Amino acid sequence: MNINATLFGQMIMFAMFTWFCMKFVWPPIVAAMEERKKRIESGLIAAERGLSEHKEAQQKAQEMLNQSKDQASEIIANATKQASNIVEDAKGVASQEAQRIKTQAQTEIEQESQRVRNELKDQVSGLVMQGVRSVLGKEVDAKTHQGMLEKLSQTL
């Protein structure tokens, strides 16, 4: 063991080295490492957030899809219902119209037959008058025989 003033030299050197290390060596290295750590951390967090966002979006899309499917089937059902309604309505209207046309035709026919009958009546009475006149050989005075004629035409 050979202790001498070298001891103090070594102590001073040790102190200097430690001071330099603390001042200029340690901080930048640790700072860079910390910075990287933070960056990786935030990257991981961002990735996780992206993942969850993606999941959420997928869920939303699925929801929307389901919703639109529901809507579509609803619309289809409505349309079918409406169509059948329209057909029903049309059927009703058509049968009503048919009924109406039928009754109209009937009344028309009745009126026509009435008219024809009346006409025929007139014609027959005319013919009868002509026949009677020719049978009697003289002019039948329409005025005097009016009553009789009318009676006759009514019986026809």
Partner 1 sequence: MSATNGLMTSSEYIKHHLQNLTYGQFPDGHWGIAHSAEQAKEMGFWALHLDTLGFSFILGSLFLAVFYLAGKNMTVNTPSGFQNFIESIIDFVNENIRGSFNGNNPLVAPLALTCFIWIILMNTMDLLPIDLLPKIASWIGVDYLKVVPTADPNATFGMSLGIFILMIYYSIKEKGAGGFASELAFHPFGKVMLPVNLLLEGVGLLAKPVSLALRLFGNMYAGELIFILIALFPYWIQWSLSLPWAIFHILIVLLQGFIFMTLVIVYMDMAHQKEH
Of the listed pieces 13-21, 59-67, 75-83, 89-97, which binds partner 1 according to CB under 8 A? 13-21
- Using CB atoms within 10 A of its CB, is residue 132 exposed (0-12), middle (13-18) or buried (19+)? middle
For the chain, how many helices (H) and strands (E)? 3, 0
DSSP state of 139: -
Q: Where in 25-54 is the site for partner 1 (CB under 8 A)?
A: 25-33, 35-36, 39
Of the listed pieces 23-31, 54-62, 67-75, 103-111, which binds partner 1 according to CB under 8 A? 23-31
Taking the C-alpha atoms of residue 83 and residue 152, their distance in angstroms, rounded to an integer, is: 64
CB 125 within 8 A of CB 153: yes
Q: How far is the CB of 47 from partner 1 (least distance, A)?
A: 17
Taking the C-alpha atoms of residue 2 and residue 46, their distance in angstroms, rounded to an integer, is: 62
Does 9 interact with partner 1 (rule: CB under 8 A)? yes
Nearer Cβ to partner 1 (27/131): 27
Nearer Cβ to partner 1 (25/75): 25
Residues lying near partner 1 in the complex (CB under 8 A) are found at 1-11, 13-15, 17-18, 20-22, 24-33, 35-36, 39
